[in-house]
A and B are shown apart, each in its own frame.
Chain A
Amino acid sequence: MEFSEHIKTANVEDVVLRRPFYQPTKGTLCVTGHHLIFSNRGGDSARPFLLLLRNIDAIEKRPSVSSGTITLKCKDLCVLQLDIPGMEECLNIASSIESLSSLETVSEMYPFFYRPPFLSLQDQWGLSSTEQHYAQMKEIHDGWRVSQVNRDYSVSPSYPPAVIVPHSIDDETLVKAARFRQGGRFPVLCYYHRETGTVIMRSSQPLSGANRKRCREDELLLQAVIDGSELGYIIDTRSSQQAQQARMTGGGFESKSCYRGWKRLHRQLEKGKVLQESLIKLVEACGDQSHSVDRWLSKLENSKWLSHVQTALSTAGLVAECVERDGHSVLVHGSEGTDTSLLVSSLAQLILDPDSRTLAGFLGLLEREWVQAGHPFQQRCAHSAYSHVRLRHEAPVFVLLLDCVWQLARQFPLAMGFSEPLLLRLAKEVYASDYGTFLCNSDQERCVTGVKERTHCLFQSLLRANERQHYSNPLYERTELAIWPSIQPPSLQLWKGLFLQWTDDALHLVEAQKVIQNLVSQCHRPLNEKVENTDG
């Protein structure tokens, strides 16, 4: 495929660019295979403005006789405007953007062409593998093992090649249990809680169907998890009604009589279209120019976004409570086990595990629980809040996770090793990125398309020394305790840093962050110097 087929006009002079925080500027617009490049004609030293075409969610054009205006609405929620002289040029540019921004072939995407000098393709792709992760957790070696049963992705196409399972369960049993779970996603370990020796597992729904089929191997697998203790909890992220209905289409739930010792609780989390529409409504509300508080609050409420945040955090809190306070193991699943289950299990880990709250620990968590665990990023993040394209599989589950993490960090500003800019960066990268981390829908797809050989890993890049500082929380003080968030409505706030990041309001908050950073470093630095002097 040649990108040039899509580019009818590559260069236009005297284009005016309007974007937030900047005065309108006149310059040259250039369309390439993956970017819009705008350079200021004045020739001042300012760097050209670069926009990844993949970042464009919607394009609106208003051509007139001798010129035209293109409005670009980006997936990072920024809205830009280009005033282009010449109607033909305007239409050409618009059609190039339309076709280039919606390319679907993974290997044509920009991460396959991005070659920064500071990274090498020879490096390990990703931060850690299941085996490495397992090797670090000595305390689980007695009860748990790494299974390679999925090494060729035949047992579960969306699972990674290696997963952690109870020691007493052999691969044959796993294969059979996998047949009883949607997409072959049998229960696997995601977190071991040292203090109580209990675990969080996740899976997809059991395929018990209308006639209440059973699977001995699946029951054995779960029995092995709570071996010795008498109780485990299954947190089903659907309502009990939804779970009942799922039986009609071959899905289902673990019935009490078959899974002795497991108690099932239902907490309904929205996903899919409902969640996507919630995001669209929220972004629409944030862009509303009317000045009525009533209208704003009513739109905010109507979007239900904060309700989703509340439910996600409260369900994660419930899981954490089972593990930490009651000392019982938990299995989390919804239907496919690729969305809300991941959301809940990763939030619960953040609440419980201080290791997952460091910068590297958090990125490791995202890698394990989202990238390797097979969250279908490509489907979920094909479009964001502005697109007019008919929705297919889009859903901002990952953005919802980031929002919940932000809420946690707001309530515990000292407990997280990473900062808000990291969450904002991730929210942007998940939709359009120079890196390959969020490409494809599963580990298998990533292998087939060569993502791991031919693109760079975002997480590794974020952990480089000079990036690390920017994304670290200057106030970080590690706490070993669980951080229990409040889910009372007044405690949950709109994430202005994301949803209102292109307004002046956010600008003041960014400045305040800088002041905090300076303050902390000022308080520590001169004193250390002084101590040294006095010592001498």
Chain B
Amino acid sequence: METIVMEHIRLPKVENVRLIDTVTSRRASVGTLYLTATHTIFVENETEILTETWVLHSLVFSVEKQASTTTGCPLLVRCKNFQVLQFVIPQERDCHDVHVSLLHLSRPEHYEELYCFSYNANSDREDRRKAWDFINLKAEYSRMGLPNHLWKLTPANHHYKIIGMVSDTYPADLYVPKSATPPVIMGSSKFRSRGRFPTLSYYYKENHAAICRSSQPLSGFSARCLEDEQMLEAIVRSNPRSDFMYVVDTRPKLNAMANRAAGKGYENEDNYSNIKFHFVGIENIHVMRNSLQKMLEVSEAHFPSMSYFLEGLESSGWLKHIKAVVDAGVFITKAIAEEGISVLVHCSDGWDRTAQVCSVASVLLDPYYRTLKGLMVLIERDWVSFGHKFSHRNNHLNGDPKEVSPVIDQFLECVWQLSEQFPCAFEYNERFLITIHHHVYSCQYGNFIGNNQKERTELQEKTHSLWTYLWKNRTDYINPLYRPDHSQTQGVLRPLTAPYCFKFWGALYNRFDRGIHPRQSVMEYLMAIREETQQLEEQLDRMADDIEASSMFAYPWRIGNICTICKENMSEQAKHVFSYGIHIETAVEASSMAGQEGCWYKGQQYARTEGLIM
């Protein structure tokens, strides 16, 4: 595999390359550009401290060679984590070679070429295997109280085949109403796109109402399917306190109607007894892709006026789409928690908008999904196991650009918007969401490789799991304001969805334009003082023990082994070590700033775990 990759590198090293600061476009640094099997590395010349910029090939979204000027040939690299790098390479020929190399390197043809298969996180095979069990969906369903007298686990898809009918995009373990017999499941499966029949996503044990999900029915203009109708009836019956259910079609009505011409469509209320049908109008993947593109153009503009920014934000439509997803989540939450009515959610295939809406509703309904582990479980359940097409949507391999769409990005943003509205309700912080976003694209971990569980099981074995990495470093991701006992934290969240509640998420989309971020962070300050307090408390405890043990009178007031800079300057130190840009310079800067082994080590370690140095 290594050799295949190496073949793409036409030019491993170019000197006298300039890296232009795209934000100010004033400063440029001169250095050497290296192409490795996994990263593009830019090393600045003649700086006191080592300044390097590393970019993973899998994070490269596009490489654009621009017209040569007298100073050289500009190469614009846009990344999927919204980093934009502009290099100027002295020789056009070299620029061409780098361009071609990067095009190949950033668009691998085979899964085996992805970074997760070469990334080695210093753990042995056994640990790596065990790490994959960290998030266990069986445990998640039993946490919800399943199986029980209303819902059962069906073996129908255990070999990724519904009896006689392939459903390779669904997980093996599926929960269905107790009364759903195999023929009903099979019949319903045949009547749904890709065999994705209605199955359980979330069960609200307080009142037995459930969120179910599926793909669209193959109803065309008039087709019916008795088993599918029975399937929905079974869902209604598995909620003993209600006599009807909602069917939420997340598409705009027009799109759903157009699908009827292709033999697909939506449920006819006349054929299904006891359903109330409801459209929520979330746009499709193509609209979302273009919308993000427009928004990024606005956010990348150099010193735009306020009006340009707000007009651009409006015309991109991005926040409107985010609001549509949250609105749909709120609708479902009300149905479940307040009315006690079960809901079936679908779109066309049931792996994009359906995943968004089901998971947003889960976050609103259940405080568990507002914890670190809970969000991992939720993503694992509604996205990974239910066949969100990560490889296609996030462009892991060289594929159809029309399949790419920021669907999970929007989910993460919905969670962020909610966390801005309820600052004490979420155990995790913004950095957690941004890190997940980063790794959904980075291909450093095996979690998001492939398009469905079937594909993934074969690939994952050789890779590491993101969740255990995040869990190990969880102190970085804790929201210091989280109050599990707080009134706004308990139970169901009832967010406002007025338009002014939706803000541009600068920390993600302008992640690398550090100039626009708040210059000081409340969260980091609080995290730092908490850590400092803990450290000092431990010190004190130890010293108290020492005093007791040795019964010495004069114990010199020294803070033993820990770095004095850490102690005295903890907030400053923490700011650098944890400062968010995935730039190696940050870590190295922090190390050299601290100037002591303890801190230096910390900085290095941080850089290493982030995959910045190997």
Residues of A near any B CB (own CB < 8 A)? 286, 290-298, 300-301, 304, 306-307, 309-310, 410-415, 475, 477, 483-486, 488-494, 496, 500, 503-505, 508-509, 511-512, 515-516, 519-520, 523-524, 527, 530-531, 534
Contacts of A492 in B (CB 8 A): 306
Contacting residue for A413 out of B502, B510, B518, CB 8 A: B518
- B contact residues around A511 at 8 Å (CB): 423-424, 486, 488
- Whether A490 lies near B520 (C-beta < 8 A) is no
**B533 close to A (CB within 8 Å):** yes
Q: A294-B317, A301-B311, A486-B515 are in contact. Are A534 and B544 (CB under 8 A)?
A: yes
**Min CB–CB distance B292 → chain A (angstroms):** 15
The docked-state distance in angstroms from the alpha carbon of A295 to that of B499 is 9
Separation of A438 and B543 alpha carbons in the complex (Å):
56
Interface of B (DSSP majority class):
helix
Q: Which residues of A contact B319 (CB under 8 A)?
A: 293, 297
Q: Is the interface of A mostly helix, strand, loop or mixed?
A: helix
Chain A residues lying within 8 Å of B547, measured Cβ to Cβ, are 534
Across the A-B interface, give the 4 residue pairs with the lowest CB-CB distance, nearest first. A296-B499, A489-B309, A301-B310, A512-B423
Bound Cα distance A304, B323 (Å): 24
Do residues B515 and A412 form an inter-chain contact, with CB atoms below 8 A? no
Contact of A291 with B498 in the complex, beta carbons under 8 Å: yes
CA distance in complex: A511, B502 (Å): 19
- Bound together, the chains give a CA A505 to CA B418 distance in angstroms of 11
B536 at the interface (CB under 8 A from A): yes
Q: How far apart are the CA atoms of A300 and B502 in the complex, in Å?
A: 13
19 residue pairs from A and B, CB less than 8 Å apart: A291-B499, A293-B320, A295-B499, A297-B313, A298-B314, A411-B518, A414-B522, A414-B525, A486-B516, A488-B303, A490-B510, A492-B306, A511-B486, A512-B424, A515-B423, A519-B530, A523-B533, A524-B529, A534-B543
Given A293-B320, A505-B421, A534-B547, A301-B307 contact (CB < 8 Å): yes
The answer to whether A488 touches B500 (Cβ under 8 A) is: no
- Least CB separation from B514: chain A residue: A486
B499 and A292: CB pair below 8 A? yes
**CA gap between A475 and B422 in the complex, in Å:** 20
Output the least CB separation between B164 and chain A (Å). 46
B→A interface (CB under 8 Å) = 299, 303-311, 313-314, 317, 319-320, 323, 421-424, 480-481, 483, 486, 488, 496-504, 506, 509-510, 513, 515-522, 525-526, 529-530, 532-533, 536-537, 540, 543-544, 547, 571
**Cβ-closest chain B residue relative to A487:** B303
Residues of A within 8 Å of B513, CB to CB, are 488
Known: A500-B500, A509-B423. Contact between A516 and B522, CB under 8 A?
yes
Identity of the chain B residue whose Cβ is nearest the Cβ of A527 in the assembled complex: B533
Q: Given the known inter-chain contacts A294-B314, A411-B518, A489-B304, please indicate yes or no for A515 contacting B525, CB distance below 8 A.
A: no
Bound Cα distance from A534 to B559, whole angstroms: 14
Instruction: Check A490–B499 contact: CB distance below 8 A.
Output: no
* Interface contact B540-A534, CB-CB below 8 Å: yes
- Least CB distance from B503 to A in Å reads 7
CA of A301 to CA of B309, assembled, Å? 9
- Least distance between B559 CB and chain A CB atoms (Å): 12
In the complex, what's the smallest C-beta–C-beta distance from B554 to chain A, in angstroms? 12
With contacts A293-B319, A515-B483, A534-B543 taken as known, whether A413 is within 8 angstroms of B520 at the C-beta atoms is: yes
A512 to B486, CA, bound (A): 10
Chain A residues whose C-beta falls within 8 Å of the C-beta of B310 in the assembled complex:
297-298, 300-301, 306, 489
Contact across chains for A291 and B497 when beta carbons are under 8 A apart: yes
Whether the Cβ atoms of B540 and A414 lie closer than 8 Å is: no
Q: Contacts A488-B516, A508-B488 given; 13 further ones with Cβ under 8 A? A: A293-B320, A300-B500, A411-B520, A412-B519, A414-B522, A486-B515, A491-B518, A496-B500, A515-B486, A519-B480, A527-B536, A527-B537, A534-B543
Q: Check B323 against A307 for contact (C-beta < 8 Å).
A: no
Contact of A293 among B311, B499, B532, B533 (CB under 8 A): B499
Q: Which of A292, A306, A493, A508 contacts B423 (CB 8 A)?
A: A508
Contact A508 B314, beta carbon cutoff 8 Å: no
Find out whether the CB atom of B314 lies under 8 angstroms from the CB atom of A301: yes
| C-alpha gap A65/B520 in the complex (Å) | 59
Name which residue of chain B comes closest to A299, CB basis.
B499
Q: In the bound complex, what is the Cα–Cα distance between A494 and B306 (angstroms)?
A: 12
Contact between chains at B481 and A516 (CB < 8 Å): yes
A483 to B519, CA, bound (A): 9
| Contact across chains for A297 and B481 when beta carbons are under 8 A apart | no
